[in-house]
Amino acid sequence: MQSLLKEHAPKDTSDVRTWFLAAPVTNFPENGGACVRYKDLQVAVFNFSRRKEWYACQNLCPHKKQMILSRGMVGSHAGEPKVACPFHKKSFSLRSGECLSGDECSITTFPVKVEDGQVYIGFGS
Amino acid sequence: MEVIVIGNGMVGYKFCEKLRKKAGVHQIRITVYGEEPRPAYDRVHLSEYFNGKSADDLLMAPASWYAENDVTLVTGELVTAIDRDRKTITTHKGSTARYDKLVLATGSAAFVPMIRGIEKQGVFVYRTIEDLNAILAYGKNVRNAVVMGGGLLGLEAAKAMLDMGLRTSVVEFAPRLMPRQLDEAGAALLRQRLEALSIDIYTGKNTVELLGNARLSGLKFSDDSVLETGMLVISAGIRPRDELARESGITTGERGGIVVNDQLLTNDPDIYAIGEAVLHREKVYGLVAPGYEMAECVAASLAGEVAGDFTGFDMSSKLKLIGVDVGSFGDPFGDDSTSVPIVYEDRTAGIYKRINISSDGKRLCGGILVGDASAYNMLLQITQNGLSLPTDPADLILGARGAGKEEGAGIAALPAEAQICSCENISKGTLCQAIENQNLTTLDGIKKATGACTGCGGCTPMVADLLKYALESQGKTVKQVLCEHFDHSRQELLDLIRIQGIRSFDDLLDAHGTGDGCEICKPAVASMLSSVWNEPLPKQSTIQDTNDRFLANIQKGGSYSVVPRIPAGEITPAQLLVIALVAGKYKLYTKITGGQRIDLFGASLEQLPAIWKELTEAGFESGHAYGKALRTVKSCVGSTWCRYGVQDSVGFAVEIENRYKGIRAPHKIKSAVSGCIRECAEAQSKDFGIIATEKGWNLYVCGNGGARPQHARLLATDLDRETCIRYIDRFLMFYIKTADPLTRTAAWLNKLDGGISYLKEVVIEDSLGIAGQLEKDMQELISTYHCEWKKVVNDPTLQAPFRHFVNSEETDPGLQFTEIRGQKVPVNWD
Ligand code: SRM
Ligand SMILES: Cc1cc2nc3c(=O)[nH]c(=O)nc-3n(C[C@H](O)[C@H](O)[C@H](O)COP(=O)(O)OP(=O)(O)OC[C@H]3O[C@@H](n4cnc5c(N)ncnc54)[C@H](O)[C@@H]3O)c2cc1C
Ligand code: SF4
Ligand code: FES
């Protein structure tokens, strides 16, 4: 898994090699997420409509290695956009991927862009 | 110096605690002997043993405390002799020990009158945990109980019998209840209130014989009338345990009690006596506070401090536990003939208040409160501190409904030295300082820091007021907020939603919050919205926990479990077959739940709508196992089959479950209905539980299993179905409107000011005048019920989210299962 992430994650937007067309905007619930498959990678994509922002991160929750973050609840902590895992409510920053509830290791995030109603995720591979 | 304490009861323990605080082990060595098998426990709250408190919960201090504080504790050993010349004591096990100073804290025993047949099985006293264990065990096999003695303790015992689900009567020798605390009118009113709780009262009854062979079957009175009963609890007063003292040549009173002077010294200059065993100025003190005061005096003089004398103690008392407020303070009867009584009586509301004003109209001498004792602490303070009275003293007891404000004001009026907690003797000043310096903000905080309210608990409301008053005067406000996004309590938000007609999370956040919400406030608000509007939230499904969002319970690995509703656990072979076929077809792990229904585990997100289609078409509905909603109403088979059943428990359980299914609450709600007192449905562990009686149904509320189990409390007895349902409507709606998020009814009740008696007033007597509204709101929820599964099955657009990938049809390749005992289970996580 980690290797997969290394392989596909861009360092930053400039490092993006592929803009992968995920799905039309309408497939993503407002202020919620859905899971996108890219090769063998599962990516959680969030339509944070309240903030008019889009985010993407690994679907795997590092705590118990569950493919679940796309079903997590988005929200903010002191202004920082975050997602909370449905299983044990660990939350992670959607910007930096850093774990906001202490101990857990951080998660990989991906750049997202929306063009004429379509959602694209940026990969480094 | 060697100090030996005989008696490890409340006062004996408190003495050890106080003495050790004043003197280290190098200065004074302490050994305490206790006859009872366990260390000292809180006798004052003994009755809470019936409401789920364990013996350990009741301990004054854990056994380890004695070791940590160098106090040698000897339990289960009765001291049988004192050799005053050799200055030694001997126990029934024959071990002896030397003392320099001896302290007798032998307390008292229940007084048992010499009545023919007193030795029969089924006759108990009410003093120790062993007594209560015996009562609990014997009570299982009887239907009714009689308490002999209509005083403070007797009525407390009666309440306990009632909580055990027994038909309860009280027999009092005197012509009225609580003769030492209440006058005619007050006692009459108390009687009326107790009879309303379905306790039968017999006054002016002299019991001459206990009937029955080996086992008790009834009481015979001097007027030859007979009262049948399976159990008798005697609470006819106390007798000081002065036998040891008497046999050792220590002076005792002829009606009992170890005689002491104002220094608590007996006629032996090396032997003190304290607590309930003592006869001081011809008086025995049946309360714990004076005992603690005595302990303080003796501890001080032994530690070489300047010790104040014990010159007597105020015997004001407040009846706790029983569902009726009763208070009696100062000189209740106005015996000091110069005083003039002011009396307020409202028979319909069941309230009686009397205060005795000094002839010059300047001082409050004492009084009596029945039905509403909210002003008790305040009036007691005014009496004890001789505070000046309002120009019209009647104001003190009139319009007491708005007591909250008056008390707050009253608190401010109190002098700093006014004693607030009499058990621990803590003054207003001490409390205020503690709050200020250790900046305490909660009642628990104060309890821990100062020990206030830890005795009889009577001062709790006053300390709460004081906290509020102190914090407000510091400019702080006392407030329960939801999370960083909402600066409101759940109750406030609920009102805002209802009043302003708010129907979405974002609208609420924009109007009354900040930021973008989080996993705490979103589900909370979601549940509030459905509690108020009871409509599905498709557009905002993402403000709900994954379970509510996908109408199933997420499990390890990310699969879901499906729990169809099976009202009361009653199910036909045909329905069983449907479940079997569905489970087989979709390869689901099946298990009978702890809630008398069947859980189907291991469905993938994609499969859920299809599974629901098959289940709903066969007549099943969602069981809301995923929601903070009604879960199950368990039942026992009841009178239809069971040879003991007295009512149709299954039928009633089915009706109840169908009535309340689907309604959303601050936390999940569970219920059960038992067909007779044997209680096979475990109704007393439920948020609301119903137990059949010959006459109808007993309704219990606020029980809980889980991590901190708590027995449900009896709300009302012998109800017909309609009344029972009406009370449940009111109870549930009141809970839904006032509880904090994720607070079960048990925790909610524990926080509720006035506890079960207040709840009874609201639900049964409609003291807030909201019963009609509560019933209306409940009816609203019931009539808008819909099966959430059916909705999704019938509306394809709602099925869209039930897939793992947005850009691929296949299911989550991460879902992996193995097999255990012939069924599939998820691969375990590390
Ligand atoms: C399935 C079941 C265990 C079983 O296989 O028997 C179960 C399963 C869960 N229980 Fe339970 N409880 C189940 C009966 C009980 C009971 C027994 C009963 O209801 O008679 C209790 C004690 C009674 C009570 O609630 O007072 C019980 C006390 C709890 C608690 C502690 C609640 C408390 O007040 O302390 C939790 C934790 C919570 O709710 O916060 C809990 C939470 C859970 C959760 C939701 C934990 C979770 O988030 O995964 C489990 C998932 C439910 C599911 O369907 O996947 N479960 N749980 C039982 C489902 C009953 C049903 O038919 O709906
Ligand atoms: C159900 C109930 C409710 C009550 N409610 C209240 C209330 O609301 N407010 C209030 O102020 N008071 C209340 N009381 C009274 C209060 O409990 C007593 O005043 C208090 O317990 C007295 O403490 P004590 O240590 O003097 O006696 P106890 O608590 O009785 O302790 C005496 C101990 O000494 C032991 N002992 C006796 N002789 C010997 C011996 N020779 N050797 C070794 N050990 C011996 C006994 O076994 C006992 O454990 C209540 C009492 C009961 C039973
Ligand atoms: S007891 Fe714990 S493990 Fe068992 S079902 Fe309930 S929550 Fe799950
Ligand atoms: S698996 Fe995500 S928090 Fe535990």
At A59-96, the pLDDT tens digits run 999 988 899 999 999 999 989 999 999 998 889 999 99
Tokens of B678: 């044997």
Query: Does residue A111 register a pLDDT over 70?
Result: yes
pLDDT at B262: 95
Of the residues B41, B43, B283, which should be mutated to test ligand 2's pocket, given the most ligand atoms within 8 Å of the CB?
A: B43
What are the backbone dihedrals phi and psi of residue B718, each rounded to the nearest 5 degrees, phi first? 50, 45
pLDDT at A42: 95
Tokens of B97: 């020990």
What are the backbone dihedrals phi and psi of residue A100, each rounded to the nearest 5 degrees, phi first? -95, -10
Identify the burial level of B583 via C-beta atoms within 10 angstroms of its C-beta, where 0-12 means exposed, 13-18 middle and 19 or more buried. buried
Of the residues B593, B634, B702, which should be mutated to test ligand 1's pocket, given the most ligand atoms within 8 Å of the CB?
A: B593
pLDDT at B755: 86
How do B238-240 and B167-171 pair as beta strands? unpaired
Q: What percent of chain A has pLDDT over 70?
A: 97
Per DSSP (E only), the strands in B391-501 are 419-421, 426-427
Q: Ligand 1: which atom is nearest the Cα of residue B554?
A: 55
Residues of chain B contacting residue A83, judged by C-beta atoms under 8 Å apart: none
Choose the weakest-confidence range: B70-74, B445-449, B675-679, B819-823: B445-449
Which residue in B109, B172, B166 sits closest to B138, CA to CA? B166
Split at pLDDT 50, 70, 90, the class of B410 is: low
Which residue in B290, B310, B327 sits closest to B422, CA to CA? B290
pLDDT at B596: 97
Ligand 2 geometric centre to CA of B314 (Å) = 18
Query: Does residue B787 register a pLDDT over 60?
Result: yes
- H/E element holding B716? strand B713-719
**What DSSP character marks residue B402?**
G
Of the residues B5, B6, B10, which should be mutated to test ligand 2's pocket, given the most ligand atoms within 8 Å of the CB?
A: B10
Look-up of token digits 């679907």: A59
3-state secondary structure of B268: coil
Split at pLDDT 50, 70, 90, the class of B403 is: very low
For B521-586, give the secondary structure using H, E and C.
Answer: HHHHHHHHHHHHHCCCCCCCHHHCCHHHHCCCEECHHHCEEECECCHHHCCCHHHHHHHHHHHHHC
pLDDT at B228: 94
Encoded amino acid at B557, one letter: G
Task: List, chain by chain if needed, residues with CB within 6 Å of any ligand 4 atom.
Answer: A 61, 63-64, 66, 85, 87-88, 90
Of the residues B287, B296, B421, B423, which should be mutated to test ligand 2's pocket, given the most ligand atoms within 8 Å of the CB?
A: B287
Would the CB atoms of A86 and B484 count as touching at under 8 Å? no
- Residue with CA at minimum distance from ligand 1 atom 26: B705
- H/E element holding B210? strand B207-211
Q: Ligand 2: which atom is nearest the Cα of residue B13?
A: 25
**For residues B105 and B43, what is the distance between their CA atoms, to the nearest angstrom?**
14
Residues of A in CB contact (< 8 Å) with B are: 22-23, 27-37, 42, 45, 48, 50-51, 64-68, 71-79, 81-82, 84, 86-87, 89, 91
What one-character-per-residue DSSP string does B160-199 give? HHHHTT-EEEEE-SSSSSSTTT--HHHHHHHHHHHHHTTE
Q: Ligand 1: which atom is nearest the Cα of residue B553?
A: 55
Split at pLDDT 50, 70, 90, the class of B536 is: low
Would the CB atoms of B806 and A86 count as touching at under 8 Å? no
Judge if ipTM > 0.90: no
For B729-776, give the secondary structure using H, E and C.
Answer: HHHHHHHHHHCCCCCCHHHHHHHCCCHHHHHHHHHCCCCCCCHHHHHH
> Across residues B430-450, what is the average pLDDT?
83
Query: Does residue B230 register a pLDDT over 90?
Result: yes
How many C-beta atoms lie closer than 10 Å to residue B37's C-beta? 11
**For residues B373 and B411, what is the distance between their CA atoms, to the nearest angstrom?**
16
Tokens of A30: 């407002």
| pTM reported for the whole predicted model | 0.54
Distance from CA of A52 to the nearest CA of B (A): 11
Task: List, chain by chain if needed, residues with CB within 6 Å of any ligand 1 atom.
Answer: B 553, 555, 561, 563, 591, 593-595, 597, 599, 625, 631-632, 670, 704-707, 744
Cβ contact B62:B78 at 8 Å: no
How do B88-91 and B79-83 pair as beta strands? antiparallel
Residues of chain B contacting residue A29, judged by C-beta atoms under 8 Å apart: 541-542, 801
Split at pLDDT 50, 70, 90, the class of B734 is: very high
**For residues B424 and A6, what is the distance between their CA atoms, to the nearest angstrom?**
66
How many C-beta atoms lie closer than 10 Å to residue A31's C-beta? 24
Which residue in B457, B456, B458, B432 sits closest to B446, CA to CA? B432
Of the residues A1, A65, A66, which should be mutated to test ligand 4's pocket, given the most ligand atoms within 8 Å of the CB?
A: A66
Question: Which residue in B has a C-alpha nearest to residue A35's C-alpha?
Answer: B805
Choose the weakest-confidence range: B348-352, B408-412, B695-699, B766-770: B408-412
Query: Does residue B409 register a pLDDT over 60?
Result: no
> Across residues B640-662, what is the average pLDDT?
96
Q: Ligand 4: which atom is nearest the Cα of residue A66?
A: 1
Query: Does residue B296 register a pLDDT over 90?
Result: yes
B804 shares contact with chain A (CB less than 8 Å) = yes
Residues of chain B contacting residue A44, judged by C-beta atoms under 8 Å apart: none
Nearest to A67 among B545, B801, B814 (CB): B814
**For residues B352 and B345, what is the distance between their CA atoms, to the nearest angstrom?**
4
Split at pLDDT 50, 70, 90, the class of B173 is: very high
**For residues B365 and B382, what is the distance between their CA atoms, to the nearest angstrom?**
9
Residues of chain A contacting residue B814, judged by C-beta atoms under 8 Å apart: 42, 66-67
Query: Does residue B148 register a pLDDT over 90?
Result: yes
Tokens of B301: 């003089």
Question: Which residue in B has a C-alpha nearest to residue A78's C-alpha?
Answer: B515
Residues of chain B contacting residue A77, judged by C-beta atoms under 8 Å apart: 484, 518
Nearest to A50 among B506, B518, B800 (CB): B506
Which residue in B69, B73, B89 sits closest to B31, CA to CA? B73
Query: Does residue B473 register a pLDDT over 80?
Result: no
Cβ contact B121:B136 at 8 Å: no
User: Residues with Cβ < 8 Å from B687, sequence gap 6 or more?
Assistant: B669, B670, B671, B701, B702, B703, B704, B712, B744, B745, B746
Split at pLDDT 50, 70, 90, the class of B470 is: confident
Choose the weakest-confidence range: B29-43, B539-553, B584-598: B539-553
Choose the weakest-confidence range: B279-288, B330-339, B790-799, B810-819: B330-339
What are the backbone dihedrals phi and psi of residue B242, each rounded to the nearest 5 degrees, phi first? -110, 10
Question: Which residue in B has a C-alpha nearest to residue A65's C-alpha?
Answer: B829
Choose the weakest-confidence range: A37-41, A113-117, B106-110, B391-395: B391-395
Tokens of A92: 């992670």
Residues of chain A contacting residue B516, judged by C-beta atoms under 8 Å apart: 31, 48, 50-51, 74-76, 81
Q: What percent of chain B has pLDDT over 90?
A: 62
Split at pLDDT 50, 70, 90, the class of B401 is: very low
Look-up of token digits 């039942």: B635
Nearest to A29 among B506, B516, B801 (CB): B801
User: pLDDT tens-digit profile of B493-518?
Assistant: 888 898 888 999 999 999 999 999 99
Tokens of B274: 């304290």
B812 shares contact with chain A (CB less than 8 Å) = yes
Distance from CA of A27 to the nearest CA of B (A): 7
B517 shares contact with chain A (CB less than 8 Å) = yes
Sheet of B688-692: strand order equals B630-635, B669-674, B688-692, B697-701, B713-719
pLDDT at B479: 58
Distance from CA of A35 to the nearest CA of B (A): 5
Split at pLDDT 50, 70, 90, the class of A104 is: low
Residues of chain B contacting residue A32, judged by C-beta atoms under 8 Å apart: 541-542
Split at pLDDT 50, 70, 90, the class of B149 is: very high
B830 shares contact with chain A (CB less than 8 Å) = yes
Query: Does residue B379 register a pLDDT over 70?
Result: yes
**For residues B566 and A74, what is the distance between their CA atoms, to the nearest angstrom?**
35
pLDDT at B539: 63
Question: Which residue in B has a C-alpha nearest to residue A60's C-alpha?
Answer: B814
B806 shares contact with chain A (CB less than 8 Å) = yes
Distance from CA of A11 to the nearest CA of B (A): 25
How confident is the prediction for chain A on average, in pLDDT?
91
Which residue in B650, B651, B649, B671 sits closest to B660, CA to CA? B671
Tokens of B404: 């909250």
Split at pLDDT 50, 70, 90, the class of B662 is: very high
Look-up of token digits 């006053």: B462
Whose atoms come closest to the Cα of B13: which ligand? Answer: 2
Q: Provide the β-strand partners of residue B121.
A: B215
Cβ contact B657:B632 at 8 Å: yes
B538 shares contact with chain A (CB less than 8 Å) = no
What number of CA atoms fall less than 13 Å from residue B154's CA on the CB side? 28
Which residue in B357, B441, B349, B440 sits closest to B392, CA to CA? B357
User: Residues with Cβ < 8 Å from B708, sequence gap 6 or more?
Assistant: B746
Rounded to 10°, the helix B721-738/B490-499 angle is 100
- Residue with CA at minimum distance from ligand 4 atom 4: A88
Which residue in B136, B148, B63, B141 sits closest to B112, CA to CA? B148
**For residues B462 and B465, what is the distance between their CA atoms, to the nearest angstrom?**
5
Tokens of B167: 């038909």
Tokens of A1: 């898994």
Tokens of A76: 């903010």
Distance from CA of B485 to the nearest CA of A (A): 9
Q: What percent of chain B has pLDDT over 70?
A: 96
Look-up of token digits 């994650």: A9
Distance from CA of B802 to the nearest CA of A (A): 10
**For residues B4 and B87, what is the distance between their CA atoms, to the nearest angstrom?**
10
Choose the weakest-confidence range: B225-239, B271-285, B334-348: B334-348
> Across residues B148-172, what is the average pLDDT?
92
Tokens of B505: 């999370």
Residues of chain B contacting residue A65, judged by C-beta atoms under 8 Å apart: 829-830
Q: Provide the β-strand partners of residue B79.
A: B91
Encoded amino acid at B726, one letter: R
Cβ contact B807:B801 at 8 Å: no
